[in-house]
Amino acid sequence: MDTAIQTAPRKKRALSCIQPTGIPTLGNYLGAMRNWVNMQDDFECAFAVADLHAITVRQDAAQFRRQIYEMFSLLLAIGLDPEKSLLFVQSQVPAHSEMAWLLACHTQFGELSRMTQFKDKSANHADNINLGLFAYPSLMASDILLYQPDYVPVGADQKQHVELTRDIAERFNNIHGKVFTVPEPYIMKSGARVRSLQDPTKKMSKSDENQNAYISLKDDPDAIRRKFKRAVTDSEARVYYGEGKDGVNNLMEIYSSVTGKTMEEIESEFEGRGYGDFKAAVAEAVIDVLRPIQQRFDQLMKDKGYLERMMKQGAERASAVSRRTLDKALKKMGFVLV
């Protein structure tokens, strides 16, 4: 009798981080966060609230603390499961800051100066162009490499960050010997590209000065109905997907994403009906998708004790994983560990 134990192949690892700089939009959810939930069954996942990254811009302490709780709650509310995935707050795991310094010393000035996010934020915050804003990619690289992921789920516009992380990892490995898994960007093609409701040539953003341009995951039903009612369309008053119909295309993509209907099915459903009916239907479909998330979020925010227990549990697990990688890197570099 063959008593050999058959072991299943290890799942590929994936890691994603999100800053606690306000409640995400419908675009963030449909484009990325919903896919994180689905990835939990196929990957060994880690998810972090990247609060250290948020302080490259000045934060009000009380508001910042609340936003950390809110983001952690929201990750639970959308369906991230601490039993399936590693879920933690970045600042509660000291290895991130320690590794960031090691990797900063393996990151070139020219590489950092070419990062588009540094250029954009420098232009928007000219009175606070700080070292952290310039060097944040080394912290981002530490966030990723500490957990040895095979993949980093990103949008196409964030691929540059993963490419720099790969360069840093390869440089370190070549100098000191193999420490880091060199991760691949995981472009989530199935994620919806949700555009601004007021300017559908731009992506939906929570930093948009026009609040009618985006749907927040915390918006109540009346706010959602009002924003979709005011959404930019065109004068044709016919629902179909086509060139030059950016506003209607955007609404159709949102409706398709939350209902699962194809563009052809949507066109058939609204044949002979005006934009008023269409906008109302999109609003109600979005309300239905967000309702259970909002209800769970409200429950969680009323139980700070539970949230802090989950944070502590996640931080302890993340510290155990990240410390192994950090200690290996320190030893390879010649540091004395006691």
Catalytic residues: 121, 203, 206
**What secondary structure, in 3-state letters, does 276-320 show?**
HHHHHHHHHHHHHHHHHHHHHHHHHHCCHHHHHHHHHHHHHHHHH
The CA distance from 169 to 139, in Å, is 13
List C-alpha distances in Å: 292 to 78, 82, 317.
9, 19, 28
In this structure, how many other beta carbons lie within 10 angstroms of the beta carbon of residue 191?
20
Other beta carbons within 10 Å of 119: 11
Task: Report how far residue 269's alpha carbon sits from residue 162's, in angstroms, rounded to the nearest whole number.
Answer: 41
Closest CA to 250 of 242, 269, 260: 242
How far is the C-alpha of 253 from the C-alpha of 195, rounded, in Å? 9
Q: How far from the centroid of its chain's Cα atoms is residue 175's Cα?
A: 32
Helix axes 304-333, 275-301, angle to 10 degrees: 80
Instruction: Let me know if 179 is exposed, middle or buried by CB neighbors in 10 A (0-12, 13-18, 19+).
Output: buried
Question: Hey, which residues does 89 pair with through a beta bridge?
Answer: 49
Strands 184-187 and 151-154: parallel
- Report yes or no: 144 and 15 within 8 Å, Cβ to Cβ: yes
